[in-house]
Structure 1
Amino acid sequence: MISMFLLFSVFILYSINRMTNSLCIQKEIPEERQPKVFRFINVSITILLVSSYVEILYT
């Protein structure tokens, strides 16, 4: 169960980062701000993934 969820999480993080990169290119976000955008989105997605894992674990 854990390995399946980890695989799923890696796929989700990879695809979200690809979409974030596309957003940065499309909206012409300056290079200085891009690390902040990526950090915020990655932390948010990680929190969502951890909370969903905990929910699945205790259900």
Structure 2
Amino acid sequence: MDEFLSLCKDPFLALVAGLIVGILFSAIKLPIPAPPALPGVLGIVGIYLGGLIWKSLSS
């Protein structure tokens, strides 16, 4: 259980931070600083996964 919690801690904190930023930006009527559509989000995930693949191949 401790291993599961340690794996989930950073993603959970990132989600909470994202929610807070989204609420604040919406409250002050600014555009949300994130891709507006699923393809944009998937592009960011692809960049992250590409970086992981490169690190594993180059080591």
> TM-score, normalised on structure 1?
0.43
Question: Considering only CA atoms, is the larger Rg found in Structure 1 or Structure 2?
Answer: 2
> TM-score, normalised on structure 2?
0.43
